[in-house]
Amino acid sequence: MLTLPPSIAAFFALFPLRTNPPIYPPSKKPITAPTLWIIPTNPSHSLSNDVECLKWQAYLALRGLTNIHIRTDVHPEGAIDGRLPNLHVPPSAEKKSDDDGQLLAAHLIPAWVDTQTTTVDPDLEGYIDAAARDESRAWVALLEGTVHAALLFSQPSPSYLERFLSISISSPLSFSWSSDAPTSNAASNTTPSPSLQTLITPPPPPATGVTSLFPASGVRISPTAILTQYRDAIAALSERLGTDQWFLGSSGPTALDALAFAYIHTLIESQSDTLRVEVCRRVNLVGWEKRVRETVDSAFRREAR
Amino acid sequence: MLNPPLQNTASPQDQEPHDGLQKLLHWQHQRRERKLRGEYESALLRLSELVNHNIDAPFSITSVRVEGASNTRQSFLASLINPILNKPATTLGQVIHTTRSISDVLNRTDIFKSVEVRLERSTHDLAHHSDLDLVFKTREHGRYFLNTSTELGNNEGSASATARVRNVFGGAEVFEANIAAGTKTKKSFRATLSLPLTSTLDTRGEFIAYGLERDQTSYASCFEDLKGAKAVIRKGSSYTGLHEFAYEAAHRYIGSLAPTASLSMRAAAGSSIKSALSHTYTLDNRDDRILASRGLYFRFFQELAGGRLEIPVSSTSVSPSTGLSVGLGGDVGFYKAEVESQISRPITNSVSLSCSMRSGILLGLQDKSTLFSDRFQIGGPTSVRAFKVFGMGPRDSGDSLGGDIYYSFGLSCVTNIPRKPHWPVKSHIWLNAGQLDSLSQDNRLRWSLPPSLMRPSVSMGVGLIYRFDPIRLEVNFGVPLIANKSDAMRRGVQIGMGLEFL
Amino acid sequence: MTQTQADQVLLYIRPGSWDLPSIDPSCLAAVIYLQLTIPGNFSIFECSSPDLSPTGQLPTLIHDHHSVALLLPIIKYISGLDKRRNTGFANTDLDHGMCMVERSKQTAWFAHAETHLGNLVYYMQYSLHSNWVGMTYPAIALMLNVTQRYYIPHKIRDMYKPRLDAAGLWSLPEVETESKKPFRDITPVNEKAANTNVFLRAFEKEKAIDKAKLIFDMYSRILNNPYFLGRDSPSTLDVVVSAHILLLSRPPYPNPIIQQLLLDHYAPLITHAQQIFTQTLGISAPTIHKVTPPRVPWRNLLPSLPVSSKNHTRSADEKRYDRIRWSFFGLVAGCMATYLAIVGRNVEIKIVTIDNSKGQSEEEMEEEDAGDEAGVRAEEGETTQ
């Protein structure tokens, strides 16, 4: 880097001769309370329609935090790595008051929550024993795999116009003779959001077929297989909950409960009758969802805007 | 006196050189030319005499033939020529005038490489001897033009292709498509179909579809992806005043934010659809578009987007909330107006003064604030110099958010380089001022002017201008004199490249 | 065997290699499950690519005009067989006698095994470059015929990429970086990129091993007594886990990072898988009937339509692609028709009858179409010879 000779730097330091007060952005409000950015919600309550956002809403609420603001006007593209939710936390007390605070990606939320409330035992994570903790991993896999696949599958596919508009012309040409290209992709630390290709075992072949010479696109999946697995999963979930207060017999809410709530709530609100009926048939799940929903809903406040 | 045989008997006249064959040849050539010129001049004189004497002689046009226009529709040619023939030509003078008009309109279609006219006695059986046929012998331009280019180097490659079809449907329509893509640079496309709407050819319609991406990382930490379609009607020429009416529908998408993007930009991310009507008036009689020394440039642009108007239905049975809503649709509603003017005049032979002014206002017509994509940005080497590109107005941690109201003013004194007036390089001294701020708007669509408009940012400096046709290149040394605390300044040397400068 | 051909249970799977009936964990698990429940009463059909399966997915089971895709639905179908009449099967439910809570736990573990153990197997087979080049690619290529060998393995690998990417297990290319461009000089930037490549790769392997350790630890903990979840006979979970462990431990991986970890530290898992293997796939186990697939190389080059569209409901995606296919064909046909219509305007097909005895008619013809004079003349010439 070139550095300016001191005489020139001194000359430049004279300017501007007069400084006017800064021009502030118009619609900016100072952040006062932790604010969760989520995908728009149903106007009647403060719970997001998006499973991923709802998971973190439930997590925050079930960890005992209250009075969290929510903000629904931010497009996912504006979030860190293009994925909501993000948690916007006010600056810590010793910093200046006009500071913007800090924006946290979803995976950093637990660490922030730990600074706010009593930490849970890192070994058992709130479950009754190690076996239950191990089992919780299995349930997470079931919810995030099988149930999520059914949810994705039931969502209507975007129209042709939407798809045309969403094709970003920014993506560079796919031909690549520079070996650096894959490096840059891998270096960026973003994982793609879950899709049917990532959730179904074994990964489904493209809809154009594998043997075809045409470029692969779409996925070929069997709807019956997805629904069979989904029914099994919901039946198992209901059976495992039984009449317990929380999943796996824990004494207090755990991360699994937050996750389960997010899925069960989304399924109950789902547009797809097939999915909804499966949950609504099970009284214990519906009752449990209702109870947890009240807790979660009361922890959030819509930001007045 | 007796001369020996083979003696030179030449008696040079008219200064005929007698030594050297080259000189002789040259002399003969000049003599021939002189003679021809004389003959031509006298023929011309005789012809014009003939025409002038017979200017009122009765002649009439029986038919007009256009030869060689094989790709052009007959109906199109008829629509051009018939209005001219509607005024019947009865004398030779009128016939010649008509001929000139037709040949002029044919030339203006830009279909033909050459147009030659011949007057012929009508071959019709019943024709009178004063009846004439007009025969236009034309040669059409090539219809297809295709240009592709690829560039490789420095671990990057790009390719672009341009295709142009003239006279697509045989009616002087022009279709042009351009597509460019690269490994690191972005893809863009643009397709235009332009066609004449009236027989005088001074009104043209244009349909445009485009898609491009703007890299705004340097001042707003984002990329903006634009896809849209536009229909334009254009009337007049910029020298006498050009009106342009347009409808545009565009999908804007702000995304690919930098990790350091400010909270305001994060809130601005996402997509919006603009549906807008606009009108532009341009008047430009400067002597040079890039580096004017005299003349006036004026441009007035206004745009109305969305703009939902609620018309209450005057019926007692319906509740007051229902009503007809009239609007252009789209996600955004705003009215935007922008004025741009430049006056240049020479002071002495080598010094000229140029004064320019730009101003704009953006009024949101919905109860939410205006969008980043629609707002104005100022600052930079082609705008208010000695500030960074779009570095003025409301800013949030390094991102320029743009403003709703602005003005900028520039005064330049341009001189030639001493003793080198013919060089394309000039020097200038300039003074710039400008301010950009957002309008605060209440719920009832009332706006209040921000007080900052009374305190412009000012900068001045000197620089060199290089007329690098078709663009202008400037190297300036400048400093800001007055600035807002939030402005991004650029003290010292700044390089500018562009078409329009303040 | 009393069953007719229609009643035969037919299982479509990915072909096997490395002494295992299938290279895919789900397919292998399906085979093991059938071996445990209805040994000798089923046949397998080896599909070199998923396109040959009636549902477009593997594994797929065909029985009694039913087609069932994917592992869990297959297991559910088979376990329900003994309750149906006239099937002649008994004890097809491996999990009989389990209480409901145990069953629900098993469902969860099943999903976990398919996801996480599956990721490890896919990582070893498709993601690690040396394993792909040295083992999986040749194995897949050998299953295919000559024309398909060159492009299908890569397409199959691409199917796994999104999943492994999402799991953070997609590995970087290892060779390729060198010797592709002889003219590229080593600039500091390139060097730096190459270095970060090395770091990232090393870091990645650590990450994969850490993940594998966590998963294996968990399965070691729930493997008490001879079988999982404290049972004394193999259950569905045993089948699924052992299928994955077999595919992790048995193939000759050129880069055996996870295999080594498994062999060194998780002997109980290996023993358990080995036990299942001996019981179902070993020498003493009942033999598996194979149905040889017909070879139709060229048909496959076209975008394939699933063979039987009646038996399974089709997803929206598939329907859309069908629509695209048909509109593509329609477009081609339309273009041809338009082209012929435009070109054909100038083509006149005339039947010229040549008859020497009727010279008059020839003359008439000449007068009528002056344009065809030459043609007629030529024909005249021919006939006069």
Give the model confidence (pLDDT) of B43-77 as tens digits.
Answer: 999 988 988 888 888 888 888 888 888 888 888 99
What is the rounded average pLDDT of the residues C156-185? 66
Query: Does A188 reach chain C within 8 Å, measured CB to CB?
Result: no
Interface of A with B in 24-63 (CB under 8 A): 24-28
H or E element at residue C121: helix C118-122
Is A23 within 8 Å of B213 when comparing Cβ atoms?
A: no
Q: What percent of chain B has pLDDT over 90?
A: 35
Architecture in CATH of B197-308+324-498: Beta Barrel (2.40)
DSSP H or E run through C379 = helix C373-384
Q: How confident is the model at residue B310 (pLDDT cuts 50, 70, 90)?
A: low
For all residues of chain B together, what is the average pLDDT?
Answer: 86
The pLDDT score that the predictor gives to residue C85 is 65
Tell me: pLDDT of B324 over 90: no
Question: Tell me: the pLDDT tens digits for C182-226?
Answer: 344 444 444 555 555 666 667 778 888 998 999 999 998 888 767
Beta pairing partners, B161: B148, B179
Listed by number, the residues of chain B in 421-480 with a beta carbon closer than 8 Å to a beta carbon of chain A are 436-438, 440, 450, 452, 455, 457, 479-480
- Cβ contact, residue pair A211, C57, below 8 Å: no
Residue-level pLDDT at B248: 93
Q: Which of A16, A100, A172 sits opposite B263 (nearest CB)?
A: A100
A182 near C CB under 8 A: yes
Residue A141 to residue C373: CA distance in whole angstroms: 83
CB contact under 8 A, C316 and A157: yes
- Residue of A14, A17, A71, A77 to mutate for B, most B C-beta atoms under 10 A: A77
Q: Of all residues in chain B, what percent carry a pLDDT higher than 70?
A: 93
Q: What is the pLDDT of residue C375?
A: 40
Q: What is residue A166's predicted lDDT score, i.e. its pLDDT?
A: 65
Query: Residue A148: exposed, middle, or buried by beta-carbon count in 10 A (0-12, 13-18, 19+)?
Result: buried
Q: Does A82 touch chain B (CB under 8 A)?
A: yes
pLDDT confidence of residue B242: 92
Residues of A in contact with C193 (CB under 8 A): 180, 183
Of the segments A227-231, B319-323, C1-5, C53-57, which one has the largest average pLDDT value? A227-231
Which chains have 3 or more CB–CB distances shorter than 8 Å to chain B? Answer: A
> Cβ separation of B251 and A178 shorter than 8 Å?
no
Q: CB C315 to CB A213 under 8 A?
A: no
Contact flag A24-B486 (C-beta cutoff 8 Å): yes
Tens-digit pLDDT profile for residues A17-47? 888 888 888 767 778 888 888 887 777 778 8
Q: Return phi, psi of residue B67, to 5°.
A: -105, 145
pLDDT at position C360 is: 46
**Range of the structural domain that residue C71 is part of:** 9-176+192-291
In the prediction, which pLDDT does A173 show?
38
Chain C environment of A194 (Cβ under 8 Å): 166
Average pLDDT over residues C328-347: 84
Q: Is the torsion defined by CA of A137, A138, A141, A142 positive or negative?
A: negative
Q: What chain A residue is nearest to B398 in terms of C-alpha separation?
A: A25
Considering Cα of B337, then B297, then B387, then B467, what sign does the dihedral take?
positive
**Which DSSP letter does residue C96 get?**
T
* pLDDT tier at C313, thresholds 50, 70, 90: low
Which residues of chain A are within 8 Å of residue C26 when distances are taken between CB atoms? 201-202
A residues 210..249 contacting B (CB < 8 A):
none
Percent of residues, chain C, with pLDDT higher than 70 = 72
Can you tell me whether residue A119 is helix, strand or coil? coil
Minimal C-alpha gap between B311 and chain A (Å): 27
pLDDT of amino acid C369: 43
Q: According to the model, what pLDDT value does residue B309 have?
A: 62
Across the range B181-195, mean pLDDT stands at 81
Percent of chain A exceeding pLDDT 90 equals: 21
Least confident of A95-109, B152-166, B320-334, C253-267: B320-334
Residues A168 and B214: their CA atoms lie apart, in Å, by 12
Give yes or no for a contact between A47 and A26, defined as CB atoms under 8 angstroms apart. no
Suggest the residue from B216, B384, B485, B493 to mutate for an interface test with chain A (most A CBs closer than 10 A): B485
Per-residue pLDDT for C357 more than 90?
A: no
Could you report the per-residue pLDDT of A267-285, keeping only the tens digit for each?
A: 998 888 889 999 999 999 9
Using pLDDT thresholds of 50, 70 and 90, give the confidence band for residue B185.
low
User: What is the reported pLDDT for A95?
Assistant: 54
With CB atoms and an 8 Å threshold, state whether B267 touches A100: no
**Sheet (strand A86-89) strand order:** A102-105, A86-89, A35-37, A68-71, A300-302
ipTM for the assembly: 0.84
Give the chain A residue whose CA is nearest to the CA of C176. A179
Question: What pLDDT shows up at residue C242?
Answer: 92
Q: Nearest-CA neighbor of A148 among A189, A186, A196, A183? A: A196
Which tens digits make up the pLDDT trace of A63-93? 888 888 888 888 888 888 888 888 988 887 6
Mean pLDDT estimate for chain A: 80
* CB proximity A187 to B under 8 Å: no
Given an 8 Å threshold on Cβ–Cβ distance, is A23 in contact with B393?
Answer: yes
Nearest residue of A to residue C163, measured between CA atoms: A198
Q: Is the Cβ pair B223, A170 closer than 8 Å?
A: yes
Per-residue confidence (pLDDT) for residue C185, from 0 to 100: 40
Task: Judge whether residue A164 has pLDDT over 90.
Answer: no
Residue C174 has pLDDT above 70, yes or no: no
Supply the CATH number for residue C253's domain.
Answer: 1.20.1050
pLDDT band at B288 (very low <50, low <70, confident <90, very high): confident
B206-246 pLDDT per residue, tens: 999 998 888 888 888 888 888 999 999 999 888 889 999 99
Asked whether C51 and A209 are in contact (CB, 8 A), the reply is: yes
Domain count, chain C: 1
State residue B152's pLDDT score: 77
| pLDDT of C181 over the 50 cut | no
Q: What is the pLDDT of residues B249-277, one digit of tens each?
A: 999 988 888 888 888 888 888 888 899 99
CB contact under 8 A, C104 and A239: yes
Taking Cα atoms as reference points, which of B403, B476, B396 lies closest to residue B434? Answer: B403
- Chain A CA closest to residue C324: A208
pLDDT at A202: 84
More confident residue, C254 or C344: C254
0.80 exceeded by pTM: no
pLDDT band at C320 (very low <50, low <70, confident <90, very high): confident
Q: Where are the domains of chain B?
A: 60-140, 197-308+324-498
A295 or A174, which is more confident: A295
Please give the pLDDT value at position A188: 37
For the cut 80, the answer to whether the pLDDT of residue C109 exceeds it is: yes
Chain A residues within an 8 Å CB radius of C170: 186
Average pLDDT of the segment spanning C115-138: 90
CATH 1.20.1050.130 fits A27-158+196-205+219-302, yes or no: yes
Please give the pLDDT value at position B434.
93
Tens of pLDDT, residue by residue over C61-72, are: 988 888 888 899
Tell me the count of A-B CB pairs closer than 8 A: 146
pLDDT tens digits for range A113-152: 888 887 777 778 888 888 899 999 999 999 999 999 998 8
Q: Mean pLDDT across the stretch C361-368?
A: 43
* CB pair distance less than 8 Å for B491 and A15: yes
CATH 1.10.10.10 fits B60-140, yes or no: no
Give, in degrees to the nearest 5, the angle at Cα A39 between A112 and A53: 45
Question: Chain A closest CA to B484's CA: distance in Å?
Answer: 4
Q: Indicate whether A1 pLDDT > 60.
A: no
Q: CB of A22 within 8 Å of any CB in chain B?
A: yes
* pLDDT at residue C200, as a whole number: 66
Helix (H) or strand (E) holding A152: helix A148-154
**With contact defined as beta carbons under 8 Å apart, do B225 and B253 qualify?**
yes
Sequence-separated (6 or more) residues with CB below 8 Å from residue A179: C173, C176, C177, C180
Q: Within a 10 A sphere around the Cβ of B322, how many other Cβ atoms?
A: 11
Is the per-residue pLDDT at B163 higher than 80?
A: yes
Distant-in-sequence, close-in-space partners of C70: CB < 8 Å, separation ≥ 6:
A200, A201, A222, A225, A229, C26, C57, C59
CA pair distance A92, A100, nearest whole angstrom? 10
C380, two tokens: 């005249």
**Residue in chain A lying closest to C149 (CA):** A211
Mean pLDDT over each residue of chain C, to the nearest integer: 76
Can you give the pLDDT at residue B444? 63
Contact criterion met (CB < 8 Å) for A222 and C50: no
Coil, strand or helix at B4:
coil
| pLDDT per residue as tens digits for the range B453-469 | 889 999 999 999 998 87
Neighbouring subunits of A (3+ Cβ pairs under 8 A): B, C
User: Which of B233-237, C92-96, C320-324 has the largest mean confidence?
Assistant: B233-237
Q: What angle do CA B136, B141, B145 make, to 5 degrees?
A: 165
Q: Is the pLDDT of residue C344 over 90?
A: no
Predicted confidence at residue C381, as pLDDT, reads: 39
